[in-house]
């Protein structure tokens, strides 16, 4: 907290001396205005009176609020690296970079506050400048609507977020979700990695933490019985698509570590592929030299064909998102439709790193594992700016 206070005191002194660069003046003025209870307001009015309408217009022309979303998404990924790392210099680098992403959103808020105060002294902005200001506000509003519900991503940064939040005036804190929302939820990350027998007082009293933990329970909680290997009955139920979501989640985790059970699952898939191939060959006209008598292909008891099911989750001019279900596994395709570059990330649980995509002939492919009522979060970036985001169930 002392370091944070010293940093803003230095900015206040810079403003009082009149040494702020013109392109940074609005942010600097807004920083002081939003922290006036701790810093005072020396030099603020003089700096505002020194800015012309052309200065405000030039600043607004240079702004692209849509670029803040990639910055915050990068900050979320870097916060996950902080949570998953072992500390040390590397974790500190991730933390510093991630906090900078949050600070970029805060600087935009400071500039808006400064412009509001400037209008109280000089009168409202007009014409094209007023439209640019409204567009800037609306862009930030869309950003906040999309990302504020995901504030849990930034829980690993809570010590730094609390220091920034506590510098803000009381009236500013609720709006500054990037520093304030979930800033007291440190116990959530510990509960994700090691489910406590008894929830902490915070987890008991925090509806947001309880809701997030509940949403991950079906994915992360093991079934009551953990056999050494999958039984014949369980393999048959998997093959027939009769397992529950929690059972499927356990099978997915178990086969990551158990080669014998993974081979059994692969054998089921290969067997069905062989049956489908045999049926296709059986449907072809028999060569004249062979008997015309047809025969049913051999099928093992309980075997079933599992055709691939495809659902288009989203289709836009630039890309298409397709959910593919085959047997009890699922994968997600992000298919570019125009020449612009498309990148994507999929998160299966809050605070966890994104899945690694594979580039294939159909575009980016994410292996989601076993499905059955599980949820995931998708983010698609088109070019350098445009971001699409949604939750989906598979």
pLDDT higher than 80, residue 56: yes
> Quick one: tokens of 245?
């979501």
Q: What's the rounded mean pLDDT across residues 66-75?
A: 82
Going from the C-alpha of 297 to that of each of 236, 260, 283, 290, 303, the distances in angstroms are 20, 28, 10, 17, 12
Q: What is the mean pLDDT of residues 25-53?
A: 92
Claim: this prediction has a pTM higher than 0.75: no
Q: Among 16-25, 141-150, 193-202, whose mean pLDDT is lowest?
A: 193-202
Burial class of 152 by CB neighbour count within 10 A (0 to 12, 13 to 18, 19+) = buried
pLDDT at position 215 is 62
> For the segment 360-386, what is each residue's pLDDT rounded down to a tens digit?
778 889 888 876 677 888 888 887 666
**Rounded mean pLDDT of 217-231?**
54
What would the mean pLDDT of 266-290 be, rounded to a whole number?
51
Which pLDDT score, from 0 to 100, does residue 294 have? 37
Answer for the pair 253, 226: CB distance below 8 angstroms, yes or no.
no
Residue 133's region, left for phi above 0, alpha for psi from -120 to 50, else beta, is: alpha
Q: What is the pLDDT of residues 242-273, one digit of tens each?
A: 677 777 778 877 877 776 777 777 766 555 44
Lowest-pLDDT choice from 10-19, 129-138, 157-166:
10-19
For residue 268, the model assigns a pLDDT of 65
Domains identified in the chain and CATH numbers:
2-184 (no CATH), 190-216 (no CATH), 232-279 (no CATH), 309-393 (2.60.40)
Rounded percentage of the chain residues whose pLDDT exceeds 70 = 78
Examine the pLDDT at 136 and tell me if it is beyond 90. Answer: yes
Whether the pLDDT of residue 216 is over 70: the answer is: no
Determine the pLDDT at residue 287: 46
Residue 205 reports pLDDT greater than 80: yes
- Mean residue pLDDT of the chain comes to 79
Ramachandran angles phi, psi of 119, nearest 5°: -65, -30
pLDDT at residue 303 is higher than 90: no
The residue that leads in pLDDT, 333 or 244, is: 333
Q: Would you say 88 and 161 are in contact if contact means Cβ atoms under 8 Å apart?
A: no
List Cα–Cα distances, 54 to 49, 51, 59, 111, 124, in angstroms: 13, 8, 9, 15, 13
With contact defined as beta carbons under 8 Å apart, do 391 and 375 qualify? yes
pLDDT at 86 over 50: yes
Of 103-107, 149-153, 172-176, 319-323, minimum mean pLDDT range: 149-153
């Amino acid at each position: 907290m002392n370091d944070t206070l010293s940093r803003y005191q230095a900015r206040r002194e810079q403003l009082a001396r009149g040494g702020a660069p013109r392109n940074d003046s609005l942010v600097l003025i807004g920083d002081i205005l939003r922290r006036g209870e701790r810093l005072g307001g020396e030099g603020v009015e003089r700096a505002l009176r020194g800015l012309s309408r052309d200065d405000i217009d030039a600043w607004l022309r240079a702004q692209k609020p849509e670029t803040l979303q990639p910055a915050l998404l990068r900050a979320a990924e870097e916060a996950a690296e902080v949570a998953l790392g072992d500390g040390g210099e590397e974790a500190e680098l991730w933390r510093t970079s991630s906090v900078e992403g949050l600070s970029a959103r805060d600087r935009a808020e400071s500039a808006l506050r400064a412009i509001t105060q400037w209008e109280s002294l000089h009168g409202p902005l007009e014409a094209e400048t007023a439209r640019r200001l409204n567009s800037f506000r609306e862009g930030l509003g869309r950003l906040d609507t999309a990302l504020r519900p995901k504030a849990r991503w930034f829980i690993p940064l809570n010590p730094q977020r609390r220091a920034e939040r506590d510098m803000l005036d009381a009236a500013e804190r609720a709006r500054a979700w990037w520093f304030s929302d979930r800033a007291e939820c440190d116990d959530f990350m510990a509960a994700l990695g090691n489910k406590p027998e008894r929830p902490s007082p915070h987890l008991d009293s925090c509806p947001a933490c309880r809701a997030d933990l509940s949403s991950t329970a079906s994915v992360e909680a093991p079934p009551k019985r953990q056999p050494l290997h999958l039984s014949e009955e369980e393999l048959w139920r998997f093959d027939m698509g009769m397992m529950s979501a929690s059972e499927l989640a356990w099978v997915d985790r178990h086969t990551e570590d158990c080669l014998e059970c993974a081979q059994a699952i692969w054998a089921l898939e290969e067997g069905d592929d062989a049956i489908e191939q045999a049926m296709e060959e059986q449907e072809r006209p028999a060569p004249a030299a062979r008997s015309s008598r047809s025969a049913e292909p051999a099928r093992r008891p309980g075997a079933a064909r599992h055709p691939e099911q495809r659902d288009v989750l989203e289709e836009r001019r630039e890309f298409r998102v397709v959910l593919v279900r085959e047997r009890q596994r699922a994968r997600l395709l992000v298919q570019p439709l125009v020449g612009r570059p498309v990148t994507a990330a999929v998160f299966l649980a809050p605070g966890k790193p994104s899945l690694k995509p594979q580039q294939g002939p159909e575009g980016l492919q994410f292996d989601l594992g076993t499905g059955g009522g599980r949820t995931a979060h998708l983010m698609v970036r088109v070019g350098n700016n445009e971001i699409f985001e949604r939750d989906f169930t598979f």
